[in-house]
Amino acid sequence: MTRGTDAVHVLAAETGGPFDLINGLPVHPLVVHAAVVLVPLAALGLIAMAVWPQFSRRCGWLVVGASVVAAGASFVAKESGEAMADRLAEPGFDHADLGELMPAFAVALMLAVIVLWLIDRRTPEGDRAPRRGLRMVVAIVAVIVAVAALVWVVRVGDSGAKSVWSGRVVASSTG
């Protein structure tokens, strides 16, 4: 299989498995975009939950759902990336190393969302004082986790984009 002057060497051996191919196409590029979109959305939702408890109580379940799907998508992206790397003769090693940790960041994000949401759901509107300190600590940790997940998904995505597109895109000149 060739693309322009660059050849992508595909191993003849079938690796098989649920994370390898769908209809003859690698699973990784098909699912990676779910993680690239949902991890930042869940992280931004978590930050909104941390600074605005009413948002957490009203819409937190949406952020919980997004974070659960983001964690699953991150895991599938990692596993399918490993299957794809087995097929490619020259995988992007930086991308693979960074991607190895993405599910851990996504799971930490999911847990922070769930914990903050449960605290906000279980605290009645008029009785916030007893849990104010706990909520403050959890909110601070949650924001740190959200920022870390955002930074990591950008690093993984950037390294993946560079491994695929570096040297293939010609910058246009405007003059």
Q: Helices 93-122 and 53-87 meet at what angle, rounded to 10?
A: 160
- Taking the CA atoms of 77, 6, 161 and 90 in sequence, report the sign of the dihedral they define: positive
- pLDDT, residue 3, reads 44
Of residues 16 and 120, more confidently modeled:
120
* pLDDT category of residue 21 using cuts at 50, 70 and 90: confident
The DSSP 8-state label assigned to residue 131 in this structure reads G
Mean pLDDT calculated for residue range 103-129: 86
pLDDT single digits (tens) 94-112? 888 888 999 999 999 999 9
* pLDDT category of residue 91 using cuts at 50, 70 and 90: low
Say whether pLDDT at 175 is over 70. Answer: no
pTM above 0.75, yes or no: yes
Helix (H, G, I), strand (E, B) or coil at 58: helix
From first CA to last CA, the distance across the chain in angstroms is: 36
pLDDT single digits (tens) 127-173? 555 578 889 999 999 999 999 999 999 999 888 888 777 766 666 66
Q: What token pair was written down for 63?
A: 């952020």
**Backbone angles phi and psi of 21, in degrees to 5:** -130, 150
Q: What token pair was written down for 12?
A: 């003849």
Mean pLDDT calculated for residue range 52-56: 93
The answer to whether the beta carbons of residues 157 and 36 sit under 8 Å apart is yes
- pLDDT, residue 172, reads 67
* pLDDT category of residue 93 using cuts at 50, 70 and 90: low
Q: DSSP per residue over 14-47, as a string?
A: ---STTTEETTEEHHHHHHHHHHHHHHHHHHHHH
Cα-only R_g, the chain: 20
> Within a 13 Å sphere around the CA of 114, how many CA atoms are in the beta-carbon half?
11
